[in-house]
Structure 1
């Protein structure tokens, strides 16, 4: 077998892997859109991003996270980087802050700790010892702010690391292209 033949095979294999990866993102987006389409009509309209909204996502992670579809697209990207637990933790903290029942607050705080903070937990997030220790201390008397420091660190990690890569990713570029091609919004 000559070198040219091996190079052609390697190039062919690489192109096939890129096509499959592209197809995987597309099918995940399609699946997520289908789920969003099953929501109520008013919610469905607000879940479809306009061209302006997608362009707005380039301005900040906060704007991206404020949109249901933006969250879905970013989560798909984070899964491809094996770091979706960061977003899941951040969202869990957002929901935690809305709890009004003290009993539910305590049980949810323990669940979040067990799922994301505790060493070797199923979705352990990357936190320094001081932050983990602070959360552990805060769990003695759970309040709405017991995860605030950890949530802020994880948001900063996403904002400074994953988010810029997302904006430069093929997934984001395809979202822009599909949205422009479809007119004013993505269709479910």
Structure 2
């Protein structure tokens, strides 16, 4: 019997400590994504997750192909999930994409993380989605409270 068991509502409350705690928890990540979808800004967390996956890539061929996918999906002007980054960061990535490394999206990822931490995350903590989680016991079965899944 483990003494460290957290009830689902306690688990949800722990997400408010910081965004890293939220992003490291699958139910928390799902809830945050649902919230971002409701605000039409889920591309931010999708980009952040794509970068996290990209940084673990080891083969040069996969780095090149994944970089092109991330670039075309999130960075290029009018991309299907274009993220909101400044021109100089976008320009730097455009130059680095010719010979990509696992660090070529780091600046953009930091900007998006900061945007989510300062903007989306505080709004998420005030949202109905989050309040329902804290007040319920349904975190473990999160399909029940995620209308967009």
Q: Same fold (TM over 0.5)?
A: yes
The CA distance in 2 between the partners of 1:166 and 1:111, in whole Å, is 29
Question: What value does the CA root-mean-square deviation take over the aligned residues?
Answer: 1.6
Q: Superposed, which structure 2 residues align to 1:1-80 within 5 Å?
A: 50-80=8-38
Query: Partner of 2:88: helix, strand, or coil?
Result: helix
The CA distance in 2 between the partners of 1:49 and 1:105, in whole Å, is 40
- Compare the two structures and name the one with the higher helix fraction: 1
Q: Which residue in the other structure is 1:28 paired with?
A: none
Superposition misfits of 4+ residues, deviation over 4 angstroms: none
Q: Which residue in the other structure is 1:122 paired with?
A: 80
Query: Partner of 2:17: helix, strand, or coil?
Result: coil
Taking a change above 3 Å as real, the CA distance of residues 63 and 49 of structure 1, as seen in their structure-2 partners, is farther
Higher relative contact order (CA 8 A, sep 6+): 2
Q: What's the CA shift for 1:49?
A: 6.8
Q: What's the CA shift for 1:50?
A: 2.7
The CA distance in 2 between the partners of 1:103 and 1:187, in whole Å, is 39
Q: Is the 8 A contact 1:57 1:64 kept in 2?
A: yes
Q: Is 1:103 paired with 2:103?
A: no
TM-score, reference length from structure 2 = 0.87
The structure number with the bigger radius of gyration is 1
TM-score, reference length from structure 1 = 0.69
Q: Which residue in the other structure is 1:16 paired with?
A: none
Q: Is the 8 A contact 1:49 1:69 kept in 2?
A: no
Q: Superposed, which structure 2 residues align to 1:167-186 within 5 Å?
A: 167-179=125-137, 186=140
The unaligned stretches of length 5 or more in structure 2 are 1-5, 143-149
The unaligned stretches of length 5 or more in structure 1 are 1-47
Query: Partner of 2:102: helix, strand, or coil?
Result: coil
Q: Superposed, which structure 2 residues align to 1:148-159 within 5 Å?
A: 148-159=106-117
Taking a change above 3 Å as real, the CA distance of residues 89 and 187 of structure 1, as seen in their structure-2 partners, is closer
Q: Is the 8 A contact 1:178 1:186 kept in 2?
A: no
The CA distance in 2 between the partners of 1:138 and 1:107, in whole Å, is 14
Q: What's the CA shift for 1:51?
A: 2.9
